[in-house]
Amino acid sequence: MTNLIEIKNVRHAYRTDAGPLPVLDGLEISVPEGGFVAVVGPSGCGKSTLTRLIAGLMKPDEGEVWLHGERVKGPRSTVGMAFQNPVLLEWRTILKNVLLPLEIVPTKLTRAQAEERARFLLSLVGLEGFEDKRPSELSGGMRQRASLCRALIHQPDVLILDEPFGALDAFTREDLWQTMHKVKEREPFTGVLITHDLRESIFLADQVVVLSGRPARTQYVLDVPSTGPRTLDDLYTPAAVEQLAILRHQIQIAQGRATPEDSPA
Amino acid sequence: MTPMKLARSIGVPLLAVAVFLAFWEWLVWFNGWPRFKMAAPSDLPPAFERHWSLFLSMGWQTLWRTVVGLILAVIFGTILGMIMGFSRIMRDALYPLLVGFNAIPKATVVPIVALMFVGQHDFNTVLLAFMISFFPIAVSVSIGLSTLEPEYRDILRSLGASQATIFWKIALPKTLPEFFGALKVAVTLAFIGTNLMEIVSPHGRGLGALFDSGRTNSDFPLMFAVLIALAFLGIVLYYIVVALEKIFAGWAERAPG
């Protein structure tokens, strides 16, 4: 078993006043080391619950989550997270925001080394010169870039991205997609990306997992073969168009608006 | 700022004050009110001069008792706010009690406190300043803590941070703007508390007692002089809080534009 993330037959239900509300039911996902998996599915199908399970912020009712061959029982410092809301601390400069995880996680880096690494990450995402600005002085896209640096500063094994580009405009989003590829080249990580955007999923990930409607189980897995560095033009090739058609069809099935017998397109 | 703008920003308010004082002076002169009925602005400097040492010693008494009451309110209010902010059950339990307590007009509490701790003037006054001013602080801290977005916690919790670390690094600083907003209200309230006790339960201390002695003698110049002194102290305390806010929560103030 060489998979870095292994989600085995996970079931989870939220307790509500009206009784248990099952959100995940028999979920199976595995991500090899260095892999990047995108998870798509209808709204409210439990995608965010999945991120909290991997991060160890929650325990599943049934089933197991494994990271690096170890069963996840609680939070661990080898995880980096970024959300749709960049949640930067307004009272800190961008540089100090990026350094925050190193104040929690034990690190071998000296203060100067840590700062150097933060500056390197910031320059990697195109935020050179903004180190001493406050979050309120940055645009939404720039804040998201800074949030990405914070998720990476402690060199996590696993990067969990919960719709990080969801609130951005289309141009900024495509910009950040390309940034993600650049970052992954220099700072390899194993990633799980939750997204609503099918184009984003095939542009960034090498495997797309489609979840069914609530309670979510693994409905479909699409491999996105990689043929060298991706560019935005790749999204308009026949192969990409076909992948998108398959995914769209699968989402419709998950929403109950189509059956597997319908032809995708 | 250009000299022209500076002159305007200082000159206009000064002019407004001068017009106000002139109108007041005219009103007293026009009605022919004697000094045992109303004081004119021109009566105030002599009143200050005559009682200057009293103003200094009693002003100091009012000031330190207000500040001590306020400090106690900050400590108690913050602890109470933390308890209510972190625990839903405690919030449900304490909130109705707090609202009920706050609804009691504090002037009615004065005789009770004065009777319970008879003779302990400093303690009484500090207690009332405290009782009247801890409420907004407790409420603002509890709201600040309980409305912290879960993502903020998750950012640190996913790295294995303890609750205490999350509190010091995120919850506390994030609550500071609300806290200072409440402190601005509390500083004025504490001042009211001190003066209530000094006036309603006279024991010869503080500006409130000086005011009361002016009242018994129908000495309007003295009474108005005390009001001016109280306004001055209130303004000083308020701007001390504003300065502290600039230092500790200045980040919350966004650059215009």
SS3 per-residue string spanning chain B? CCHHHHHHHHHHHHHHHHHHHHHHHHHHHHHCCCCCCCCCHHHHHHHHHHCHHHHHHHHHHHHHHHHHHHHHHHHHHHHHHHHHHHCHHHHHHHHHHHHHHHHCCHHHHHHHHHHHCCCCHHHHHHHHHHHHHHHHHHHHHHHHHHCCCHHHHHHHHCCCCCHHHHHHHHHHHHHHHHHHHHHHHHHHHHHHHHHHHHHHCCCCCHHHHHHHHHHHCCCHHHHHHHHHHHHHHHHHHHHHHHHHHHHHHHHHCCCCC
Residue A264 confidence class, pLDDT cut points 50, 70, 90: low
Parent domain of A90: 82-156
Cβ contact, residue pair A137, B154, below 8 Å: no
At residue A66, φ and ψ (nearest 5 deg) are -120, 135
Q: Please tell me if residue B151 touches chain A, with a CB cutoff of 8 Å.
A: yes
Tell whether A216 and A86 lie within a shared domain.
Answer: no
Residue B251 confidence class, pLDDT cut points 50, 70, 90: confident
Cβ contact, residue pair A77, B160, below 8 Å: yes
Looking at residues B79-107, what average pLDDT do you find? 90
Residue at token pair 């600039």 = B246
Tell whether A137 and A236 lie within a shared domain.
Answer: no
Looking at residues A42-57, what average pLDDT do you find? 82
Q: Please tell me if residue B172 touches chain A, with a CB cutoff of 8 Å.
A: no
Tell whether A5 and A126 lie within a shared domain.
Answer: no
Q: Which residue of B159, B172, B178 to mutate against A (max A Cβ within 10 Å)?
A: B159
Looking at residues B13-22, what average pLDDT do you find? 94
What integer pLDDT is reported at residue B257 of this predicted model? 43
Give residue-wise pLDDT tens across range A84-103. Answer: 888 999 999 999 999 999 99
Give residue-wise pLDDT tens across range B29-85. Answer: 999 999 888 899 999 999 999 999 999 999 999 999 999 999 999 999 999 999 998
Tell whether A174 and A253 lie within a shared domain.
Answer: yes
What integer pLDDT is reported at residue A265 of this predicted model? 53
Residue A152 pLDDT > 60: yes
Mean pLDDT of chain A: 86
Looking at residues A39-62, what average pLDDT do you find? 83
Tell whether A111 and A214 lie within a shared domain.
Answer: no
Tell whether A6 and A62 lie within a shared domain.
Answer: yes
Query: Across the interface, which of A85, A91, A104 has its CB nearest the CB of B156?
Result: A104
SS3 label, residue A107: coil
Query: Across the interface, which of B155, B169, B173 has its CB nearest the CB of A87?
Result: B155
Give residue-wise pLDDT tens across range A242-262. Answer: 888 888 888 888 888 777 777
Helix%, strand%, coil% for chain A, nearest 5: 35, 25, 40
Higher pLDDT, B195 or A73: B195
- CA proximity to A87, closest of A123, A135, A119: A135
For residue A90, the chain B residues in CB contact (below 8 A) are: 174, 251-252
pLDDT over 90 for what percent of chain A? 22
Nearest chain B alpha carbon to A104: B161
Residue at token pair 């010693």 = B57
Helix (H) or strand (E) holding A144: helix A140-152
Yes or no: say if B85 and B141 are a contact pair by the CB < 8 Å rule: yes
Window from A30-34, A146-150, B52-56 with minimum mean pLDDT: A30-34
Q: Please tell me if residue A55 touches chain B, with a CB cutoff of 8 Å.
A: yes
Tell whether A194 and A263 lie within a shared domain.
Answer: yes
Q: Which residue of A50, A87, A98, A137 to mutate against B (max B Cβ within 10 Å)?
A: A87
Cβ contact, residue pair A89, B170, below 8 Å: yes
Tell whether A148 and A88 lie within a shared domain.
Answer: yes
Q: Please tell me if residue A56 touches chain B, with a CB cutoff of 8 Å.
A: yes
pLDDT over 70 for what percent of chain A? 97
Tell whether A51 and A94 lie within a shared domain.
Answer: no
The domain that holds A259 is classified in CATH as 3.40.50.300
pLDDT over 70 for what percent of chain B? 98
Count the neighbouring beta carbons within 10 Å of the beta carbon of residue B226. Answer: 31
Q: Residues of A numbered 154-173 whose beta carbons fall under 8 angstroms of chain B's beta carbons: which are they? A: 154
Tell whether A91 and A24 lie within a shared domain.
Answer: no
Window from A20-24, A195-199, B140-144 with minimum mean pLDDT: A20-24
Q: Please tell me if residue B148 touches chain A, with a CB cutoff of 8 Å.
A: no
Looking at residues B4-20, what average pLDDT do you find? 90
Cβ contact, residue pair A87, B159, below 8 Å: no
Q: Which residue of A91, A133, A137 to mutate against B (max B Cβ within 10 Å)?
A: A91
CA B65/CA B71 separation, integer angstroms:
10
- CA proximity to B74, closest of B27, B137, B119, B3: B137
Cβ contact, residue pair B251, A76, below 8 Å: no
Tell whether A57 and A14 lie within a shared domain.
Answer: yes
At residue B12, φ and ψ (nearest 5 deg) are -65, -50
Helix (H) or strand (E) holding A185: helix A170-186
Task: Quote the longest CA-to-CA distance of chain A.
Answer: 60
Looking at residues B168-192, what average pLDDT do you find? 91
Mark which of A141, A156, A171 sits at the end of a domain. A156
Q: Where are the beta strands (DSSP E) in A109-199?
A: 158-162, 190-194
pTM of the model: 0.78
CA B109/CA B159 separation, integer angstroms:
50
Cβ contact, residue pair A105, B159, below 8 Å: yes
Domain count, chain A: 2
For residue A74, the chain B residues in CB contact (below 8 A) are: 160
At residue B156, φ and ψ (nearest 5 deg) are -90, -35
Strands A70-71 and A207-211, by their bridges, are unpaired
Count of pairs with CB atoms under 8 A, one residue in A, one in B: 60
Residue B1 pLDDT > 70: no
What 8-state DSSP symbol labels residue A61?
S
- CA proximity to B167, closest of B188, B134, B141: B141
What integer pLDDT is reported at residue B244 of this predicted model? 93
Looking at residues B114-129, what average pLDDT do you find? 89
Tell whether A52 and A173 lie within a shared domain.
Answer: yes
**What are the structure tokens assigned to A34, written together?**
């260095």
Q: Residues of A numbered 91-150 whose beta carbons fall under 8 angstroms of chain B's beta carbons: which are they? A: 91, 100-101, 103-105, 134, 136-137, 150
Give residue-wise pLDDT tens across range A220-247. Answer: 888 888 766 778 888 888 888 888 888 8
